[in-house]
Structure 1
């Protein structure tokens, strides 16, 4: 794993996502930044969610936001990258998840069927800095 952003294959785009969770408000803000293989921003989007129960749900919502945003922009080959190892691993496993976030993981997997190619990768905080910073600015 690298501590700097690495571009996707030239035929794909990379959607980095992050979330800021505010437990006392039961809210989170999710940010997605989609870049091409040259690092050029192809699109960015922020969503504010209410009634969010915990940080894992917030991260799952952000991952879902990333693939929904990529689909809505018309991309068919996507690398989805986020700094929540738990969410990334659960989505990659492809097995029934009976945890509290299982329904979100299932929804992400179903949405992933809309793409010609999709992969989910873990990114450390430093390589995911742009969406991390934006997500934290939204609720301020």
Structure 2
């Protein structure tokens, strides 16, 4: 199944998140990219942490990281989007 990225509504933002597991070093990472309604990149961030977590937990940590990040940026009307259906419902809105 192919999923195509869709921009958020005018005046809104979308934060796409993804997580990664580094089994050999028993660590995880996650990243976020924030775009506006025309698809322009507003900001990006990533984080690396020690720990041995299942995929759905890593994705949930990524969602948490994204929420903190967009709040630090002072953004409102942000849609959080990830690819793990256990950690998100594909899109979540933050006001």
Normalised-by-shorter TM-score class:
0.7 to 0.9
The CA deviation at 1:44 is 0.2
Alignment match, 1:31: 31
1:81 aligns with 81
C-alpha distance in structure 1 between counterparts of 2:67 and 2:50, whole Å: 20
**Whose Rg is larger?**
1
Hey, what's the Cα distance between the residues in 2 that align with 1:31 and 1:64? 11
Q: Which one has a larger percent strand, Structure 1 or Structure 2?
A: 2
Q: Specify the alignment match of 2:45 in structure 1.
A: 45
Alpha-carbon distance, 1:23 to partner: 2.6
Say if 2:57 and 2:87, in contact at 8 Å, map to a contact too.
no
Assess if the C-alpha contact under 8 Å between 1:18 and 1:32 holds in 2: yes
Q: Which has the higher helix share?
A: 1
Aligned to 2:61: 61
For these two proteins, the number of residue pairs brought into alignment is: 93
Q: Where does the alignment leave 5 or more consecutive residues of structure 1 unmatched?
A: 93-111, 118-140
Q: Give the superposed CA RMSD.
A: 2.0
TM-score computed with the length of structure 1 as normaliser: 0.60
- Contact kept? 1:27, 1:50, Cα under 8 Å: yes
User: RCO (CA 8 Å, sep 6+): is it higher in 1 or 2?
Assistant: 1
Structure 1 stretches of 4+ with a deviation exceeding 4 A read: none
Gaps of 5+ in 2: none
SS for the counterpart of 1:20 is strand
Q: 1:78/1:2 Cα in 2 relative to 1: closer, same or farther (>3 Å)?
A: farther
CA contact under 8 A between 1:23 and 1:54: conserved in structure 2?
Answer: no
